[in-house]
Chain A
């Protein structure tokens, strides 16, 4: 009576086994589903199957734990005389359906058509069936809600994903804006952008195709980041594919392959990409290409319009940075050229200044050395004469014949000595030799002073006594000071050697003292005085921690107006006649003192004189 069907793996196999056609089988599928819903409890034992299972469509469902139990159930069903369940059962009325879980666990269902059931009253059927039905109902609703919720999550994720992508793009632009400055080279700009694209927008390869011809028609991969390829070897005729109209090319899995996509794939190995032109002054200066090696959701989603929207401003940004960098480079070149020119001119002028100073100095030195040399040369003739006289005396002594009249011969010598004024001659010779000694000593001092002044062997920063430098300079100017009857009053404090550029400092002293001298000479009606004062002072500007050396040179010369005073340190400014000075003297002094991290100031009252103050850090 009851046809028991072995458990099968697949519904289709079950259908074949029962011999039902597909239509008949499909009509039963909902029943199968309902059967399965009952398996939710899955804890019924064979005996209870006939007493507890609702009777609307199903009579029983059980899980059996072993083959013995399975056998028990089969026997129970087939041998049962309980008419409740077997009376009207026919082979077509009942189906056994199940699923194999393992060799020993079997799930079974007995199905009974309600029309054939005369065993229960309809009210009873409804009552006992209501709980499983309600459970099924709520299960379905829960699953529907699950589907809706999961679906909604998918939509939210998609939106948030796009939002994140846009935020990343914005953040990338901000970062680049902070990173780029006008001094960056175009190469740096390109590489920084490409690197940032790969990191921030998670591209695999980014590159810039650069034009190989003036018309910007043919392009070759120039800068590449993310690939082992350093630069492309082949060129591609881009032509109108990407024009100044800000077109963009998007190649993803759905795109039709093009010649350009084939070129990018062969050159960069990039199957999915976006290409946008970088335009500057209505000319395509590069093509920005950025893309991925794979499309795999959700890690590498297909590139889309959002990616184009991100790359376009980036291309524009590159263009601006590129233009700025080019302008900067141009400006830089111009500045360099002008600077070189200026340096050359300055060098020429400085050389002229040096030559002028040297001329001035030479005149002074010549004059200075001339005196002692004159001293020496003037003494030579009387010395020669005195020596000749003395020689004559000596010769007469030598000619005395001891055999002859010695007294008479000595008388002759005495007469000669008297004649030449022997004692005076000796005294004069002594004086003349002293004069020569004095002249030589003076010459030696001048040479020493000159050497000290030039300090050619001391061009480096080293400890030196500034007073020595001042004195050397005064020595070199001595003759002029004397001739102009200018008194130099010195008030030197005891200052130990300080770190400085001694040779350069002397150049400053020479310039300032010469100016003072000239200013004083310009007022011949009063005795000229130049005062030089050195001292150690506190000066927070020059030396925040320690002391500073102050050198103050004052004169009672002609002085200067405020207008002149404010310009004295300007290069090429001079109050002298054209051709007399270069106008660079004090400007150079200013530079030298600045190099010492010091300062130089001028105070002056027209008609009364000037004060030059030099302050340099004291670094013993």
Chain B
């Protein structure tokens, strides 16, 4: 038995029962072997201590225990969000190495936290040819009593400043347990944390294959952000941002300013701006709110500064591209003579059918394509993927990671 992974899912209201139910299901394919790694995700409706205690009561003293809150959970056969969803993945492997890393106090300085994490990774002697990294950071900072989002842009910049992500491909997620941005909890070994960035190193015989799926295509020409402050775009082409948007969309759409949140998608093209469209060059950014008084558009990340050229994106209502992308990814694995062992699907919460306004859940396409490759996914606030050989925050994106050996 080289590598065995199992996934469990529960919608049980009681945190202890949920933990046990999901863990028992996850342990089943391990045929009695003790797992080396257990990954767990729940929505904010679950009690963190009770849930992890329940999982431990089933999985035993696992060497590595990592996870956190998600808006929802996806497994091979189930998915749900905004409720009592929870999921557990248990992995046994004598060929894949797992290493975990933790940097606390993320909220004080995201860049520094990223840099410190990258230093730890850089100094770690990974085995094998293709080490990779998954990062899970707390996207919500309520330590001051007010809501502040921890930014992935400086976090990624910090990581990129030290780590050559082209050699250790880094993907990950900003964790949030719901869309009301209640405090997030993170499980790391035997403790429960907040405001940390956690890293999961995967090495040995394993190789991570990732795909970025957003299905967005530029709808507009390039426009210039002429004023911005933090994560708020104040002016576009010298016009107040909201006024610009209203002029662009016209009055007939019936869209109120309140509708812009989680609907408007803006992208930065990191590649040749006049070259043929390449989704891998685009960093998608999502509008989460509007600032009526300042006539501004509030984004999740703060990297759209003055002088940034942006394009308004159109989100595809047809998710066929996900099928194509997943097939391509599986094809690449096969081409390298490797076999998929397990998968992580990091899905933007905004892509969930109820939030996006779709009659199908796009994650079901991943479920269908992966078939019996054990997969745990979760709905995240921010996704981190590789753009132009650097890790970069993405939004309204699905990042599929398949670990093969």
Instruction: List the interface of chain A (C-beta within 8 A of B).
Output: 9, 11, 32-33, 36, 39-40, 99, 101, 139, 142-151, 153-161, 163-165, 167, 195, 198-199, 202, 225, 293-294, 296-300
Is the pair B219, A149 in contact by a Cβ cutoff of 8 Å? yes
Q: Which of B256-286 contact A (CB under 8 A)?
A: 258-259, 261-264
Q: Is B191 an interface residue (CB 8 A)?
A: no
Is the pair A297, B261 in contact by a Cβ cutoff of 8 Å? yes
Enumerate 14 A-B pairs (CB-CB under 8 Å) in ascending A order: A9-B227, A32-B238, A40-B222, A142-B221, A146-B220, A146-B248, A147-B249, A149-B219, A150-B253, A154-B255, A163-B359, A198-B84, A293-B180, A299-B179
Q: How far is the CA of A154 from the CA of B312 in the complex (A)?
A: 14
Is the pair A298, B355 in contact by a Cβ cutoff of 8 Å? yes
Closest 3 CB pairs of A and B: A157-B357, A151-B253, A146-B220
Q: How far is the CA of A294 from the CA of B182 in the complex (A)?
A: 13
Residues of B within 8 A of A149 (CB): 219, 314
Is the pair B219, A145 in contact by a Cβ cutoff of 8 Å? yes
Instruction: List the interface of chain B (C-beta within 8 A of A).
Output: 11, 13, 80-84, 179-180, 219-222, 224, 226-227, 237-238, 247-250, 252-255, 258-259, 261-264, 306-307, 312, 314-315, 317, 349-350, 353-359
How many residue pairs link A and B with beta carbons under 8 A? The number is: 122
Q: A150-B249, A199-B11 are in contact. Are A298 and B312 (CB under 8 A)?
A: no
Residue on B nearest A167 in the bound complex, by CB: B359
Q: A164-B358, A299-B179 are in contact. Are A198 and B353 (CB under 8 A)?
A: no
Minimum distance in angstroms from B263 CB to a CB of chain A: 6
Is the pair B358, A147 in contact by a Cβ cutoff of 8 Å? no
What would 7 more interface pairs be, CB under 8 Å, given A101-B306, A151-B253, A298-B356? A146-B314, A150-B253, A150-B264, A154-B254, A154-B357, A157-B358, A298-B262
Minimum distance in angstroms from A151 CB to a CB of chain B: 3
Minimum distance in angstroms from B378 CB to a CB of chain A: 16
Minimum distance in angstroms from A288 CB to a CB of chain B: 18
Q: How far is the CA of A366 from the CA of B179 in the complex (A)?
A: 90
Minimum distance in angstroms from B382 CB to a CB of chain A: 16
Minimum distance in angstroms from A515 CB to a CB of chain B: 58
Which of B82, B237, B259, B312 is the one whose CB lies under 8 Å from A297? B259
Is the pair B237, A146 in contact by a Cβ cutoff of 8 Å? no
Residues of B within 8 A of A164 (CB): 353-354, 357-359
Is the pair B237, A36 in contact by a Cβ cutoff of 8 Å? yes
Q: How far is the CA of A122 from the CA of B385 in the complex (A)?
A: 54
Which of B221, B238, B264, B349 is the one whose CB lies under 8 Å from A11? B238
Q: How far is the CA of A9 from the CA of B226 in the complex (A)?
A: 9
Q: A142-B221, A143-B248 are in contact. Are A156 and B314 (CB under 8 A)?
A: no
Is the pair A299, B355 in contact by a Cβ cutoff of 8 Å? yes
Which of A39, A139, A150, A167 is the one whose CB lies under 8 Å from B219? A150
Is the pair B312, A146 in contact by a Cβ cutoff of 8 Å? yes
Residue on B nearest A100 in the bound complex, by CB: B306
Residue on B nearest A301 in the bound complex, by CB: B354
Is the pair B255, A297 in contact by a Cβ cutoff of 8 Å? no
Is the pair A146, B253 in contact by a Cβ cutoff of 8 Å? no
Q: How far is the CA of A195 from the CA of B180 in the complex (A)?
A: 21
Which of A32, A40, A195, A299 is the one whose CB lies under 8 Å from B262? A299
Which of A32, A99, A147, A158 is the one whose CB lies under 8 Å from B357? A158
Q: How far is the CA of A153 from the CA of B313 in the complex (A)?
A: 11
Which of B82, B179, B258, B263 is the one whose CB lies under 8 Å from A154? B263
Q: How far is the CA of A33 from the CA of B82 in the complex (A)?
A: 45
Residues of A within 8 A of B83 (CB): 198-199, 202
Is the pair B354, A151 in contact by a Cβ cutoff of 8 Å? no
Residue on B nearest A39 in the bound complex, by CB: B224
Q: How far is the CA of A202 from the CA of B349 in the complex (A)?
A: 14
Is the pair B250, A147 in contact by a Cβ cutoff of 8 Å? yes
Minimum distance in angstroms from B241 CB to a CB of chain A: 13
Q: How far is the CA of A300 from the CA of B254 in the complex (A)?
A: 19
Which interface residue of A36, A147, A159, A293 has the most chain B CB atoms within 10 A? A147
Is the pair A297, B238 in contact by a Cβ cutoff of 8 Å? no
Which interface residue of A139, A161, A163 has the most chain B CB atoms within 10 A? A161
Minimum distance in angstroms from A181 CB to a CB of chain B: 21
Q: How far is the CA of A199 from the CA of B10 in the complex (A)?
A: 12
Residues of B within 8 A of A156 (CB): 317, 357
Residues of A within 8 A of B226 (CB): 99
